[in-house]
Amino acid sequence: MSVGGKFLRLYWSRRMARVIGEERAAVLLEFALLAPIFMALLVACAVMGITAFAQQCVQTAAETMSRQVLTGQVQMGGMTQAAFKQKTCAALPSFMDCSRVIIDMQRADDFNSVDTSLPVLVYDSNGNIINTWSFTPGTAGDIVILRVLYIWPVSTGPLGFDISNMGPGQRLLMGTMVFKSEPYS
């Protein structure tokens, strides 16, 4: 091999080593800049996924309990609001705290008068909810609105990600069922 060939080969091997070193530094810098954003997105996805799962659990509990009202089991059994809440809690997964469950059941004259919006919560000076909740399961053939509310604790994520809707650290989840009771006897 000629001296010129050796020189070119040495030049290109040194040049490639420097380029590879610069590429590694660039990759490291890019990772350092993008990793916090990527981690924040992962945390936000996890928080949203867990909250969506909890929301579905509340909706499923509302569906389960509405079936008992629909078929007259609640009315014929003389179930109280406290007993109904206990049965609702039993329909929720064990990681959900029963003290955070609120039951609101109302009777409606027709389907046009049904209100399924989130309730406006009223608080006392200590921050406790003081709303008066209805428990009117109705009779056979009545239109009933069942709302199962759950106060879900949420944490704010990185980069200011916050999905709370009732003040810091809390999100109100609601499962709603509107139905007409069957003719039971």
Residues 136-165 have pLDDT tens digits of 999 999 999 999 999 999 887 667 778 888
pLDDT in tens, 85-129: 999 999 999 999 999 999 999 999 999 989 888 888 898 998 889
Confidence of residue 81 (pLDDT cuts 50, 70, 90): very high
Buried b (16+ CB within 10 A) or exposed e, 55-76: bebbbebbbbbbebbbebebbe
Percent of the chain with pLDDT over 70: 85
Q: What is the DSSP letter of 72?
A: T
* CA nearest neighbour of 177 among 88, 81, 80: 88
pLDDT value at 18 more than 70: no
- Ramachandran angles phi, psi of 108, nearest 5°: -125, 150
For residue 167, what are the CA distances in angstroms to 120, 133, 155? 13, 21, 11
